[in-house]
């Protein structure tokens, strides 16, 4: 089974970060690690992230360095076969890693790009 390193970057996304991290944690049967890089948030995001304890690997940058630096920092710590980049205001669909796994087994790609579905308000209920 493929091991994924999920790298979530965040800057001042207090109202979204819990949903983002929870969606990554919802992959129960997947081989994955979750690395969250907070890019110097000043809005309480880090306090929310610290509540996850050892379930995630949290890196808190002292000052805002920008999304590229935050992603690079997370990638430098990753141990997975594939890196999955995710922003702090995004959520995964429940079947994302399963779909990635099927693509990897069939095609052996070096890169997989996905699409975005926009929504506003509460997270919509999704059926697998």
Condensed to tens digits (0 to 9), the pLDDT of residues 61-94 reads 999 999 999 999 999 999 999 999 999 999 999 9
pLDDT higher than 60, residue 28: yes
Q: What is the pLDDT of residue 116?
A: 85
**How far is Cα 27 from Cα 118, in angstroms, rounded to an integer?**
21
pTM of this structure: 0.93
pLDDT higher than 60, residue 112: yes
pLDDT higher than 70, residue 122: yes
Q: What is the mean pLDDT of residues 5-17?
A: 98
Q: What is the pLDDT of residue 117?
A: 83
Can you give the three-state secondary structure of 78-92, one letter per residue?
Answer: CCCCEEEEEECCCCC
**How far is Cα 91 from Cα 17, in angstroms, rounded to an integer?**
9
Q: Burial level of 12, CB count in 10 A (0-12/13-18/19+)?
A: middle
Q: Identify the architecture of domain 3-107 in CATH.
A: Alpha-Beta Complex (3.90)
pLDDT higher than 80, residue 40: yes
pLDDT higher than 80, residue 6: yes
pLDDT higher than 60, residue 128: no
Report the mean per-residue pLDDT for the chain.
94
Q: What is the pLDDT of residue 114?
A: 86
- The proportion of the chain whose per-residue pLDDT surpasses 70, expressed as a percent, equals 98
Tokens of 32: 């994955």
């Amino acid at each position: 089974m493929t091991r994924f390193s999920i790298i979530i970057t965040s800057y001042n996304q207090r109202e979204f970060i819990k949903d983002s991290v929870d969606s990554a944690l919802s992959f129960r049967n997947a081989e994955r690690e979750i690395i969250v890089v907070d890019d110097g948030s000043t809005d309480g995001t880090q306090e929310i992230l610290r509540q996850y304890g050892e379930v995630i690997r949290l890196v808190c940058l002292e000052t805002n360095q920008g999304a590229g630096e935050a992603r690079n920092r997370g990638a430098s710590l990753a141990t997975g076969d594939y890196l999955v980049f995710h922003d702090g205001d995004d959520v995964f669909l429940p079947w994302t890693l399963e779909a990635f796994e099927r693509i990897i087994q069939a095609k052996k790609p070096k890169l997989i790009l996905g699409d975005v579905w926009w929504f506003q308000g509460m997270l919509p209920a999704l059926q697998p």
